[in-house]
Amino acid sequence: MNTPSEILGQDGPLAKHVAGFAPRAEQQAMAEAVARTLESNSILIAEAGTGTGKTFAYLVPALLSGQKVIISTGTKNLQDQLYHRDLPVVRKALEVPVSVALLKGRNNYLCLHRLEVAEEGRYSSREMAQKIQMIRSWSMQTKSGDIAELSALSETDSVWPRVTSGTDNCLGAECGFYDKCHLMEARRQAQAADVVVVNHHLLFADMALRESGFGELLPAANAFIIDEAHQLPDVASGFFGVSMSSQQLMELARDAEAEYITDINEGRDFSTVTDALQTAVQDMRLAFKLKSGRGVWRDEANGKDLLAAIEKVDAALEKLQSTLKPLSERSKGLDNCLRRCAELEDIFRRLTGVSPEDQIHWYEIHKRSFSIHLTPLSIADSFQSRLSEINAAWIFTSATLAVGESFKLFQQQLGLIEAETVQWASPFDYYHQSLFYVPRDLPLPSDRDYTRAVIESARPVIDSCGGRTFLLFTSHRALNEAAELLEDNLDFPLLVQGEEPRDILLEKFRKIGNAVLLGTSSFWEGVDVRGDALSCVIIDKLPFASPGDPVLQGRIEAMRKQGRNPFMEFQLPNAAITLKQGVGRLIRDVSDHGILMICDPRLLDKPYGRVFLDSLPKMARSRDAGDIARFFDYVDKRTAVAHDA
């Protein structure tokens, strides 16, 4: 059997089967490191710069290992890409008899029982009824039940919670459709497969469930490969804590009413009880002083209106429980609703009670909903406890895990102090493919006219680049202000985050060819635009997390109590990693070229700016806007020479 390096080499099967495949020393070295980790059952943290080809670097040794491997990705889109595109290519090239499976969280699969109940329920609009009918037609054709198949409906459409199940509303083996359950079939396939592709949310849902002693979601495995691992600490914090959303309470009320109509339907008194719960939840949303965003729970907890609203919700839950008890013996669905009601009331009382010392107690307000959370100050012990329970190899990889050459932050967050760490720089020639431009004479970001100054400085750069620009912002407020400033004063098509779904905006950006796209956090990572459509990335300021964020506040306070420096140990390295993500949007291929413009004067004026600079690729730098036109002239000449050769 050839080594991973040979397989990924000039004469290997990947070069023969993949159009445009080019051997990369960094990719081969990473594949060998992954193979060693799989063989030794150890832990590897690997940063692989953009263009390394890390997906093939871990897939090749994983498929050759003969082990049961779980691969976890950051998003469902990446999960689908890995399963439907990358895995088939590598498996075909290697000609190995490895079985693979795709497994998502339960709310990604159609629930036939809930579809049946939804067809009997009350609808808020005719449009909702039509969507239910569309899903029924699709249900008779689909084999997987994966809602991503029904492209006519967005995966975020409000109809899906009505026809998918959660842990709190699944009837389990008592369901009349259990033998036809799409989720159970997906789990059976995962149990049997050699390689299973999941996402981080499912991975940590499984960890949290195992920790509670109530079962498991994923099959046992010999190895876990975690791609986009920089997202892990934030995802893990949610699953090792406790949270509840107003949507859960609203769905309980809707589900209880729908089950009642389906199984009993003996009068209108029941709907009075469920309507009362929904009204109480809506009133609680209005009782918060903060009207949008995140806040610290103790800042709201003693508000007179909120206390009254909490009592009203609690009473409505009590009333629903007492109404469900005599009916639960006549309906499996209502019996499940009774159990959910009791569990949600317990969680609701915990989350609206006294704030515990060892957790961050916070809430978030949306336009029509709210959520309340208890987040652990650190998840390192919980994560380490989970790792110690299973005898498996672990590989954590991403293009952005280190600050400079240090993995200290990532290791501390997950308790991976003893892990092997290794770093491979991008094989791209950033020095010749890009120009790093920092404008002169901009005010500090605290200046009230800062965004206006950024746009004035960016406009000639955008013109020099012929549009083809990403403008990345650290806040929605700045994005909206920039959109107003550019709306009637731009010679290129303007695309703004929020006007359409991200994937549609990106497709338009690629197709138009000279557009300017304004985005915030969701465009800083996981976005791949290759070729001339993107030739400039402008970042408004260094991406420090908002100091008003309650989770950040909680962690800063805890670190100060320990005598530590939260800015140097936590805020600064996190911002450096986020900046690396944003910068990574610019060069996505060996033939790409473009301008990186970072507007924040602190990058060069503050001592800590060196941390950011040391984390970025080695690029030619300039503070002269005239160099931008000269750079593109240089690129054109270099391209012409390459063509002649």
Give the contacts of 507 (CB within 8 A, at least 6 positions apart). none
Distance CA 529, CA 585 (A): 7
Quick check: 605 pLDDT over 90? yes
Q: Mean of the pLDDT values across residues 214-225?
A: 79
Distance CA 458, CA 538 (A): 7
Least confident of 199-208, 503-512, 535-544: 199-208
The pTM (predicted TM-score) of the whole model is: 0.91
Q: Record the tokens describing residue 200, joined without a space.
A: 């981080």
Quick check: 169 pLDDT over 80? no
Alpha helices in 434-571, H assignment, sequence order: 450-464, 476-487, 502-512, 550-561, 566
Quick check: 383 pLDDT over 60? yes
pLDDT at position 497 is 95
pLDDT at position 214 is 46
Please tell me which residue, 207 or 504, carries the higher pLDDT value.
Answer: 504
pLDDT at position 548 is 87
Q: 420-424 and 43-48: which strand pairing?
A: parallel
Quick check: 55 pLDDT over 70? yes
Distance CA 100, CA 94 (A): 14
Residue 97 carries which side chain, given as an amino acid letter?
P
Which one is the CATH code of 4-99+193-231+379-424: 3.40.630.10, 3.40.50.300, 3.40.190.10, 1.20.1260.10?
3.40.50.300
Coil, strand or helix: which one is 243?
Answer: strand
Distance CA 640, CA 645 (A): 9
Residue with tokens 């002269």: 624
CB atoms near residue 151 (< 10 Å): 8
pLDDT at position 466 is 94
Give the contacts of 446 (CB within 8 A, at least 6 positions apart). none
CB 482 within 8 A of CB 462: no
Alpha-carbon dihedral sign for residues 315, 317, 319, 321 = negative
The strand pairing partners of 225, in sequence order, are 71, 395
Number of H helices, E strands in the chain: 29, 18
Q: Mean of the pLDDT values across residues 218-244?
A: 92
Alpha helices in 465-547, H assignment, sequence order: 476-487, 502-512
Quick check: 71 pLDDT over 70? yes
Quick check: 569 pLDDT over 70? yes
Quick check: 406 pLDDT over 90? yes
Please tell me which residue, 265 or 555, carries the higher pLDDT value.
Answer: 555
pLDDT at position 640 is 65
pLDDT at position 158 is 84
Distance CA 499, CA 508 (A): 12
Q: Record the tokens describing residue 423, joined without a space.
A: 């770093």
pLDDT in tens, 249-289: 999 999 899 889 888 888 768 999 999 999 999 999 999 99
Give the contacts of 97 (CB within 8 A, at least 6 positions apart). none
Quick check: 122 pLDDT over 70? no
CB 347 within 8 A of CB 241: no
Q: Mean of the pLDDT values across residues 132-139?
A: 94
Quick check: 117 pLDDT over 80? yes
125 pLDDT tier (thresholds 50, 70, 90) = confident
pLDDT at position 207 is 80
390 pLDDT tier (thresholds 50, 70, 90) = confident
Q: Mean of the pLDDT values across residues 156-169?
A: 85
CB 323 within 8 A of CB 267: no
Report the Cα–Cα distance between both ends of the chain, in Å, rounded.
Answer: 38
pLDDT at position 124 is 64
Q: Where are the domains of the chain?
A: 4-99+193-231+379-424, 106-183, 242-376, 430-644
Residues in the chain: 645
Q: Mean of the pLDDT values across residues 76-98?
A: 92
Q: Record the tokens describing residue 254, joined without a space.
A: 């809707």
pLDDT at position 73 is 95
pLDDT at position 170 is 84
Closest C-alpha among 200, 232, 236, 255 to residue 82: 200
Please tell me which residue, 170 or 545, carries the higher pLDDT value.
Answer: 545
pLDDT at position 291 is 87
Alpha helices in 366-497, H assignment, sequence order: 380-389, 408-414, 430-433, 450-464, 476-487
Tell the burial category of 184 from Cβ atoms under 10 Å away from its Cβ (0-12, 13-18, 19+): middle
pLDDT at position 218 is 80
pLDDT in tens, 613-639: 999 999 999 999 999 999 998 887 777
167 pLDDT tier (thresholds 50, 70, 90) = confident
CB 347 within 8 A of CB 222: no
pLDDT in tens, 322-363: 999 999 989 988 999 999 999 999 999 999 999 998 899 999
Quick check: 139 pLDDT over 60? yes
pLDDT in tens, 93-103: 999 999 999 99
Distance CA 557, CA 116 (A): 50
526 pLDDT tier (thresholds 50, 70, 90) = confident
Residue 21 carries which side chain, given as an amino acid letter?
F
Q: Mean of the pLDDT values across residues 515-541?
A: 94
DSSP string, 586-635: S--STT--EEEEE--THHHHSTTHHHHHHHS---EEES-THHHHHHHHHH
Diameter over CA atoms, the chain: 84
Which H, E and C letters describe 336-362, residue by residue?
HHHHHHHHHHHHHHHHCCCCCCCEEEE
DSSP string, 291-349: -SEEEEHHHHTT-HHHHHHHHHHHHHHHHHHHHHHHHGGG-HHHHHHHHHHHHHHHHHH
41 pLDDT tier (thresholds 50, 70, 90) = very high
pLDDT in tens, 204-215: 888 876 655 445
What's phi and psi for 117, nearest 5 deg?
Answer: -65, -40
242-376: what fold?
Answer: de novo design (two linked rop proteins) (1.20.1440)
DSSP symbol at 406: B
pLDDT in tens, 238-250: 888 999 999 999 9
CB atoms near residue 36 (< 10 Å): 15
Average of per-residue pLDDT values in the chain: 92
pLDDT in tens, 5-14: 999 999 999 9
The strand pairing partners of 224, in sequence order, are 70, 394
Domain range 430-644, CATH class: alpha beta
